[in-house]
Amino acid sequence: SQKIEQNSEALNIQEGKTATLTCNYTNYSPAYLQWYRQDPGRGPVFLLLIRENEKEKRKERLKVTFDTTLKQSLFHVTASQPADSATYLCALVGNSGGGADGLTFGKGTHLIIQP
Amino acid sequence: DTAVSQTPKYLVTQMGNDKSIKCEQNLGHDTMYWYKQDSKKFLKIMFSYNNKELIINETVPNRFSPKSPDKAHLNLHINSLELGDSAVYFCASSHISDTQYFGPGTRLTVL
């Protein structure tokens, strides 16, 4: 069955350091992978999308890599700040077909940036 | 302007009741979704609607029924509520197979 695993439930990082979050998947052949941020009491917010033919994507202090051979994506937050503390979700389009597939999410990694 | 809105934000009800959650998007998207986030924060797709047609329907009890009066709205009706239905329900919208925009969520508590 299809599975998405994110490296840990919580990750504590000191302010200013780079946080690296991992997303591994099995039994998928995704055309693209997405990362979302979720704050307590709020809906997920889209951050980055990376396609299968892209190795790396950047947005401000965020960087995502995608290795379809390893079936893995890494999500980096550089020069981390306490405001980056949130849960980060990796998501893939489900294999239901038909085009209008919903996203299948990993369980998320709770990132805590300590001042 | 809110892109994806849901009402109500909180819903507390007794077991066995029937309730509805409303969702509206003003982004001009052609596809809308309902997700359920359980107590362990696991977010799971329930339904998606594209051009008023149900495209996917995961293993969700038939007590749950999505209804889309038009492209901008996708409401969720739940009959005979059970304790296990307690969760946060998120509506989302997108252009087909594109990034999704989520609403603020509806926290449903069944007593």
Which residues are within 8 A (CB) of A16 and not within 5 positions of it... i.e. 6 or more apart?
A79, A80
Q: For chain B, say whether A104 makes contact (Cβ under 8 Å).
A: yes
Name the residue facing A100 among B40, B50, B90 (closest C-beta): B50
Residues of B in contact with A3 (CB under 8 A): none
CB–CB contact A44 B102 (8 Å): yes
Sign of the C-alpha dihedral computed for residues A41, A47, A51 and A53 taken in this order: negative
Which carries the bigger pLDDT value, residue B35 or residue A29? B35
Q: Do B55 and A87 touch (CB under 8 A)?
A: no
pLDDT in tens, B22-64: 999 999 998 999 999 998 888 888 988 887 778 767 678 889 9
Q: Does A109 touch chain B (CB under 8 A)?
A: no
pLDDT digits (tens, 9 = 90+) for A30-51: 878 999 999 999 999 999 999 9
Instruction: Please give the Cα distance from A13 to A83 (Å, whole number).
Output: 12
